[in-house]
Amino acid sequence: MEFCAIRIDERLIHGQVATAWTREVNASRIMIIDDEVVKDSVQKMALKSAVPMGIKLSIITLEKALANFSLNKYDGQNVFLIVKDPKVLVNLKKADVNLDEIIIGNMSAKGDSKVLYRTVSVTNKNIDDLKYLVDEGVKVNLQMVPKDKKIDVKTLL
């Protein structure tokens, strides 16, 4: 499974993603992998409303995603993966899914989190997950909108 782009963004699909990123990465499908969102009809409705015209949408669990990947279900599509939590990407990596580069957009402040950079706050658990990905050779960069310069997360952790 190859993705045309991978993003960590707690707001999932919103203005920056729907307008600027989807175009920038030439996505034909936006894929949300999140076990909680799958169960939440309100969030799902809001996500459907935000998908640009002509772009397909998947909101699926990790288990379903891995099953679909093994069936080569998305061959020939430009899949733009968006997750809320880096944990999902760790699990994909552990399942041998190819992750080349990850872009971090928005991660909001939580209980014990600290600000990494502007709109990106991370918990200790997030830091462990990001370090795992970096150690596995995945490029992890912060970039809010395509016009912003990328910041290598290694310089911030």
Partner 1 sequence: MIGIIVTGHGSFASGLKSSVELIAGVQSDVSYVDFTAGMNTDDIKQALNESVESMGSLDQIMILSDIKGGSPFKAGLEIAMSKENITLFGGTNLPLLLECSLSRYGADDFEVFVNTVEKLGAEGLSRFEMNYDDDDED
DSSP 139: E
The helix (run of H) or strand (run of E) holding residue 101 is strand 101-104
| Options 26, 94, 101, 146; binder of partner 1; rule CB under 8 A | 146
| Residue 120: both structure tokens together | 């990106």
User: Quick one: 53 or 111, whose CB is closer to partner 1?
Assistant: 53
14 is catalytic: yes
Asked whether position 38 contacts partner 1 by CB under 8 A, the answer is yes
DSSP states of 7-35? EE-TT-SSHIIIIIIHHHTT-SEEEEE-T
Residue ranges in 16-35 that form contacts with partner 1 under rule CB under 8 A: 16, 19-20, 23
User: Quick one: 73 or 114, whose CB is closer to partner 1?
Assistant: 73
Distance CA(4)–CA(91), nearest Å, equals 19
Q: Using the Cα atoms of residue 40, residue 142, residue 133 and residue 75 in order, give the sign of their dihedral.
A: positive
Q: Among the options 11, 14, 64, 150, which is catalytic?
A: 14
Asked whether position 73 contacts partner 1 by CB under 8 A, the answer is yes
Residues that bind partner 1 (CB under 8 A): 15-16, 19-20, 23, 38, 41, 44-45, 47-49, 53, 57-60, 64, 68, 73, 145-148
**Which residues are the active-site residues?**
14
